Chains A and B, each alone.
Chain A
Amino acid sequence: MGWDWILKYANPTHFMRLAARLVPWFWGLGAAFVALGLWLGLVASPADYQQGETVRIMYVHVPAAWLAMFCYIVMTSAALGTLVWRHPLADAAQKAAAPLGAVFSFVCLVTGSIWGRPTWGTWWEWDARLTSMLVLLLIYLGLVALWRTIEDPNKAARAAAILTLVGVVNIPIIKFSVDWWNTLHQPASVFRMGGPTIDSSMLWPLFAMAIGFNLIFMALHFMGIRNEILGRRIRRLSMEAAAGGERAAPAASTGALA
């Protein structure tokens, strides 16, 4: 009984209806939170006593980093759905998440680099946090390439699911790299034992932007899943049309001969 609603929305047709209802809300709320985050981050919050104004880059860099990792967790759950239940919606969720994760990883790396130049004096440093984040971007790009290389969507989903499950080992490495190794990147200052070390005047813009980014990600992910379901329907109808044409062609030629 408790799982009935999940089974209902795991049906692609029901999911399409649910997505059509939810996506405008995700966009609207996401835009409102991002607007609030922009005002708090660029206008209302103070400059940092050490970093100066560059601290404002953190309000887009950190949510992008969180989202890049969250997206991988979503993809890992979908990969389990593909391998254990062989559910087509799980395949679509995996495929739709990979390019989004790649974009947020890229944004995280580039904004971090822009912040690093005035703060650390360098655009790039091969330290554990930066390198493991680059590895995450490369895994996302590898997954996007894998989906494009294998033509059969079921085979592509299984191959991508296995690669996703192998790559999930990188997520704890990213999270704990600043504790395990001596890195230039600062240690965790928000999600840590003992609570955040950031002042609330900087924590609120960060949370507003993070909520906004998450809602936008959910809107894009739902739209991407919808696109994959449409793509599968197009593929099935095209194959049916081709099979119908093949059946019709010999029948027509037989008729002409008779």
Chain B
Amino acid sequence: MIETSHWPLILAAYALTFGAIGVVALSVWLTGRRRAAELARLEAAAPRERARAERT
């Protein structure tokens, strides 16, 4: 009987698990960074927006 090594399947399972977690973590982190930058931009623009509204 030929003995088959199952290590490629084991490594594939581990790679898929940690790859999926890594992709989600990266996506959540990038979304957070983008939203924090967007919020900072809007908060900086908000006083100008209010001042413009008051002038007109």
In the complex with contacts A118-B6, A252-B56, A103-B32 CB distance below 8 A? no
In chain A, residues 45-68, which have Cβ atoms closer than 8 Å to a Cβ of chain B?
52-54, 56-57, 60-61, 64
Q: Smallest CB-CB separation from B5: which chain A residue?
A: A53
User: CB distance B6 to A54 under 8 Å?
Assistant: yes
C-alpha gap A117/B13 in the complex (Å):
12
C-alpha gap A38/B13 in the complex (Å):
13
C-alpha gap A112/B46 in the complex (Å):
52
For A44, list chain B residues within 8 Å (CB). none
Interface of B is mostly: helix
C-alpha gap A57/B14 in the complex (Å):
7
Residue tally, chain A, CB below 8 Å to B? 42
In the complex with contacts A53-B10, A230-B36, A244-B16 CB distance below 8 A? no
Give chain B nearest CB distance to A229 CB in angstroms: 9
In the complex with contacts A60-B14, A223-B32, A54-B9 CB distance below 8 A? yes
C-alpha gap A254/B26 in the complex (Å):
50
Q: Smallest CB-CB separation from A51: which chain B residue?
A: B6
In the complex with contacts A107-B16, A230-B39, A234-B39, A248-B7 CB distance below 8 A? no
For B35, list chain A residues within 8 Å (CB). 227, 230-231, 234
For A22, list chain B residues within 8 Å (CB). none
In the complex with contacts A220-B28, A223-B29, A231-B35, A111-B7 CB distance below 8 A? no
Give chain A nearest CB distance to B23 CB in angstroms: 8
C-alpha gap A57/B32 in the complex (Å):
32
- Would you mind naming 27 contact pairs between A and B with Cβ atoms under 8 Å apart? A42-B10, A57-B9, A57-B13, A60-B14, A64-B17, A110-B13, A111-B16, A111-B17, A114-B13, A117-B9, A216-B25, A220-B24, A223-B28, A230-B32, A231-B35, A237-B39, A237-B42, A237-B43, A241-B42, A244-B49, A244-B50, A244-B53, A248-B53, A248-B56, A251-B56, A252-B56, A255-B56
- Give the interface of B toward A (CB within 8 A): 4-7, 9-10, 12-14, 16-17, 20-21, 24-25, 28-29, 31-32, 35-36, 38-39, 42-43, 45-46, 49-50, 52-53, 56
- Give the interface of A toward B (CB within 8 A): 38, 42, 52-54, 56-57, 60-61, 64, 99-100, 103, 106-107, 110-111, 114-115, 117-118, 216, 220, 223-224, 226-227, 230-231, 233-234, 237-238, 240-241, 244-245, 247-248, 251-252, 255
